[in-house]
Amino acid sequence: MTDRDIAPHEEPRWAPGTQILWRYRENGQDHIHICRPVTVVRDDAELLALWLASGTTCVRPVLADGRLPYEEPLATRYTAPRAVRLSPWSGPGILMLARPGQPWSVWLWWDESWRFKSWYVNLESPHSRWEGGIDSEDHFLDIDVRPDRSWEWRDEDEFAQAQQDGLMDADQARAVSAAGRDALASVVAWGSPFSDGWENWRPDPAWTVPDLPADWDRTGSARRVPSA
């Protein structure tokens, strides 16, 4: 499909195998502090599925002295000076699923032998598309979902600390909490994508590991994906 094949009301789609960037803005800032080159598995009006391969060079936030954020005490974790670092994605790859307009994505984790481990619901802003990928903002609060359908909240302490440090106001925090309850309702009902069999998916062996472009933090012509 080319640009001239796309009707004015349609969102351009990426073909399976296309390599794009999945990026996160730093909270309350315009700049990018997380960037992961990924391969498109599926892209349509219902779902964007992306594969992050093991060994992919990614951009991740670190403290100014090089330590990882979780190594800093919670009280100063979000106020200590930060930088970014390039490092390979270690361990097995992950599959990330995002529905247009939905304020969370669902990540699937396996071990080295492809034994399925868990789903991970990452609360975040609905993604914005641009010519090189998609952008979002992490909202701290997450849900871990096990194969037996049991679940637990994750990072509630970081969610509370982020509010205390002014990284989100009360209205946004309420919206994130509401999004978490909606996501949890989908888990409890065992709706899509949990019931869709994605745990049996495998990447195309012909796919190569994407490269991290030198201009990974470039500004794109962002287009918010309409809510479903």
The model's pLDDT over 183-195, given as tens digits with 9 standing for 90+, comes to: 999 999 999 999 9
The CA-atom distances, in angstroms, between 118 and each of 82, 89, 99 are 30, 18, 19
Q: What is the pLDDT of residue 129?
A: 95
Q: What is the pLDDT of residue 221?
A: 58
Q: In whole numbers, what is the pLDDT of the chain averaged over residues?
A: 92
Q: What is the pLDDT of residue 209?
A: 98
Q: What is the pLDDT of residue 5?
A: 40
Is the omega angle on the peptide bond into residue 193 within 30 degrees of 0, that is, cis? yes
Q: What is 3-213's CATH number, 2.102.10.10, 3.40.190.10, 1.10.15.40, 2.40.380.10?
A: 2.40.380.10
Low pLDDT (below 70) residues in the chain: 1-11, 220-228
Which residue ranges make up each domain of the chain?
Answer: 3-213
Q: How far is it, in rounded angstroms, from Cα 109 to Cα 36?
A: 16
Q: What is the pLDDT of residue 227?
A: 32
Q: Are 56 and 36 in contact (CB under 8 A)?
A: yes
Q: What is the pLDDT of residue 29?
A: 86
Q: What is the pLDDT of residue 10?
A: 58
| pTM for the whole structure | 0.90
